[in-house]
Chains A and B, each alone.
Chain A
Amino acid sequence: MTENINSTNSDGYYEQKKKEEMKHQLITFALMIIFTFIAFGMVLAELDKLFVIPIIIVLAIVQVIFQLYYFMHMSHKGHELPSIMIYGGLSVAFLTILTFLVLIWW
């Protein structure tokens, strides 16, 4: 995120950055709560199945991206390998779930 590699962090710059980050995290949290409300609301409203399911799944995925990038700082530098491993895991996860949805019953 930053080019400054100087690691004395008493200067206000880092304080500022942390504050900034905290703000992002609070916004993230608010959004997550809203998304949750939407998801539950849509289900309670008994809308059409084919409409609701994709949307709540997308909402879940977005929430997870929030968690990963804002709460777990995956966007920060030094997270290249963690990202690779998480995406590796997610790809295997995707294939697994896809298989279990289409190749178990016939």
Chain B
Amino acid sequence: MSTTIAQNRSFGAALWDYLTTVDHKKIGILYLVSGGFFFLLGGLEAMAIRIQLIKPANDFVSAGFYNQILTMHGTTMIFLAAMPLIFALMNAVVPLQIGARDVAFPFLNALGFWLFLAGGLILNASWFLGGAPDAGWTAYAPLSTTSPGHGVDFYVLGLQISGAGTLIAGINFLVTIVNMRAPGMTYMRMPLFTWTTFVVSALILFAFPALTVGLFLLMFDRLFGSGFFDASMGGNSVIWEHLFWIFGHPEVYILILPAFGVFSEILPVFSKKRLFGYTAMVFATVLIGFLGFMVWAHHMFTVGLGPAANSIFAVATMAIAVPTGIKIFNWLFTLWGGNITINTAMLYSLSFIPTFTIGGMTGVMLAAAAADYQFHDTYFVVAHFHYVIVGGVVFGIFAGLHYWWPRMFGKILDEKLGKLTFWTFFIGFHLTFFIQHFLGLMGMPRRYWTFLPDQGLDTGNLISTIGAFLMAFGTIVFVINVIVTSVKGEKVGGDPWDGRTLEWAIANPTPHYNFKQTPLVRGLDAFWIEKMDGRKEMTPAEPVDDIHMPNSSILPFIMALGLFIAGFGFIYQVDNSAWLAAVFIGMGILLGCMFIRSVKDDHGYHIHKEDLDKGAGL
């Protein structure tokens, strides 16, 4: 198991390398590529939505097909684009930031990725197999339980499998951050991106099981004739709504907190100042995570829960504005008195502040229950969540990618193209979504395939669509940027931004084992401290020694493949019980792999210290 011969590998070898890798840096790249692909796909679906709505009574797509596009847009963007892209950044950065050689469970890390991909592929296979899910990304019963065809079954199985992957990833990061920190890296010295990863992983741990159960019940109702959500059998559809939102609301913080983490890294670096109010930032992160579990019913104000429940959840929801506000002001005061450099990463971070503030404020407006009776399920809500998601999460991902690209790929993304992307995307974004606030109150519900002429909704929708085209343009420029940079870009050193945290203390390209010697951490912004003391490198915490590394394995890939097969079996066994064979084969593969894994000892291998100097593991 030597990785020394990294030079001229054949394509096959590279492929095998990625299929079997357990290296967090490579898994990060896998997440990036697949998440990026799904982002383009989700964006394409968004374009179809906007084209359909460009004018009243349009029929660019049919009504039923529109619902499929809309459902897949939401589902793809949330589960298959935003989350994996966030995981890409976490995988690429978190172990480096805490001075670790690897994550706690490299094998599970790989498994988590492959499960996500298997789930995503199952979900999207529905396009070719009789139609995609069409009950909205929230899949409210009984529409979802009665939706004809197999669309919603693909939703159920796809999300179930990728959800399992997410849960695994969450546990992995939790343990990594608890157990793998370098000496001296106390909790209150962890960079904020690591902190947000930690909190988000805990949210995943507590939120995803509710979705798991919800999906199981939905699956039982659709495929095995149970009656959880079927009023005629005594069931109750409100159960699904609760289960979905007990998961769903924490989910939106799962998306935004890592973005907060990204900005908390970028703003200090490019204003050359320490993060203002670090302790308060940590505290606010934890508080947001905590409160995030007590507000889910704000998505259900119009369901009929009664004024008492609505009021309680309304007030609890508003409370989240406080810790979020603490963050906003701390960022502003990080900039205050700084020496601010504006590059692409910084442009995204800076524009995030007003954009997200708008989105958050509309959130608080939504939280006012009696006002939400008007807002709910209109384009006002659509505007709210795209402001926080695109203006927060997507900007965060773009910012993070520009910032960490040299760490991940050793090159800086082209600044000119980067700025072009930023400006078109930014302007397009506001054009698309600002006007939607008004559309909503003017009487345009969301999830509408079309709207009638002569209801005062035409101009607003037209502007919105124009904006979406600008965003598409910006995104395409970004893709070009990636290609151009990888072909022509110049290699840079390990610390191109004058960084403050540990990931910049490593030479480029990052060695397989990350740190030759585990660094000794002496405070917050560990690397910055050393630089201020006139050193170029971290002080090591240990002598050079053999480095223990985990073995690569193809098992994660095969396990995911097993579930992929079983997924189809579950879906089609209602039509023909012969498909049960696929269930058994798939589950057999899965259990077989688990068996092999537990029976085969895997002690990993060592890179010997003599080889380290010869460049082993690069």
Interface residues of A (CB under 8 A from B): 81, 85, 88-89, 91-92, 95-96, 99-100, 102-106
Contact = CB atoms under 8 A, between A and B. Distances in A.
Given A88-B202, A88-B206, A103-B309, A81 B178 contact: yes
25 contacts: A81-B178, A85-B205, A88-B202, A88-B205, A89-B206, A91-B293, A92-B206, A92-B210, A95-B246, A95-B293, A95-B294, A96-B210, A96-B242, A99-B246, A100-B242, A102-B309, A103-B238, A103-B297, A103-B305, A103-B309, A104-B238, A104-B239, A106-B304, A106-B305, A106-B306
A100 B293 contact: no
A96 B202 CA distance: 17
Contacts of B238: 103-104
Contacts of A85: 202, 205
Nearest to A91: B293
Bin the interface of chain B by size. 10 to 19
Nearest to B206: A92
Interface in B199-216: 202, 205-206, 210
Contacts of B178: 81
Nearest to B303: A103
A104 to B, nearest CB: 5
Residue of A92, A95, A102 contacting most chain B CB atoms (<10 Å): A92
B421 to A, nearest CB: 40
A103 B304 CA distance: 9
Nearest to A99: B242
Interface string B299-335: 0000011100100000000000000000000000000
Query: Could you tell me the dominant secondary structure of chain B's interface residues?
Result: helix
Contact of B293 (A81, A92, A102): A92
A25 B305 CA distance: 46
A96 B239 CA distance: 11
B293 to A, nearest CB: 6
B573 interface: no
Contacts of B297: 99, 103
B485 interface: no
Contacts of B236: 104-105
Interface in B387-437: none
A102 B312 CA distance: 14
B313 to A, nearest CB: 10
Contacts of A95: 246, 293-294
A89 B297 CA distance: 19
Given A92-B210, A103-B238, 14 more contacts: A85-B205, A88-B202, A89-B205, A91-B293, A92-B206, A95-B246, A95-B293, A96-B210, A96-B242, A96-B246, A99-B242, A99-B297, A104-B242, A106-B304
A95 B210 CA distance: 12
B178 to A, nearest CB: 6
B294 A103 contact: no
Contacts of B202: 85, 88
Contacts of B210: 92, 96
Interface in B248-300: 293-294, 297
Contacts of A81: 178
B45 to A, nearest CB: 33
Nearest to A92: B206
A99 B210 CA distance: 13
A82 to B, nearest CB: 10
A84 to B, nearest CB: 9
Interface in B231-249: 236, 238-239, 242, 246
A47 B293 CA distance: 38
A100 B246 CA distance: 11
Nearest to B293: A92
A7 to B, nearest CB: 18
B283 to A, nearest CB: 16
A63 to B, nearest CB: 23
A103 B238 CA distance: 9
A106 B305 CA distance: 8
